[in-house]
Amino acid sequence: MSRIVLAALAAMAFTGIAQAAEPLERIAFPEGATSATLSGRVSGAADDRYVLTAAEGQILDVTLDADQAGACFTLYTPAATEPTFTGGCNGQAFSAVLSEEGDYTIAVGAAPGVEASSYTLVVAVTNDVVTGAPVLPAE
């Protein structure tokens, strides 16, 4: 009997991990555009993950707007296994000069204590370097 219980617990744990790691959606900028607006709804432990390719020296701007301050985002640099930026909740923004070329991942999830939230995410990549802009550290 205990083997059955252990097998059931292991299956439930694996299912939770699989749900938390949602597939990536590649951000495609419209022709001639430097930004894209994405929207979705997150709930529970699942998150929406977006990936975009950017070059060293470009500026990445990310802005999140969510209903009832219910969503947050994290940013992963190309080589990162841990978030490079965490804590971008409703109305929060991230902007930095990128220090490496590659695929950057943005994960949007429900804020702690929030059951579900709709959101709008605006992502821009430009070549307009501003003097004094923060530089994202290389991994």
Per residue in 23-47, pLDDT tens? 799 998 889 999 999 999 999 889 9
Closest alpha carbon to 92 in 113, 69, 115, 109: 69
Residue 108 lies in a domain: yes
Model confidence, pTM? 0.76
* 28 falls within a domain: yes
CATH code of the domain covering residue 97:
2.60.120.380
- Residue 131 lies inside a defined structural domain of this protein: no
For β-strands 116-126 and 93-97, DSSP reports them as unpaired
Instruction: Let me know if residue 8 belongs to a domain.
Output: no
In a domain, residue 39? The reply is yes
pLDDT in tens, 33-88: 999 999 999 998 899 999 999 999 999 999 999 987 899 999 999 989 899 888 76
Total structural domains within the chain: 1
Which structural domain range is residue 29 located in?
A: 23-126
Q: In what order do the strands lie in the sheet with 24-26?
A: 24-26, 47-54, 102-110, 71-76, 85-89
Q: Does residue 62 fall inside a structural domain?
A: yes
Residue 43, in any domain of the structure:
yes
Residue 14 inside a domain? The answer is: no
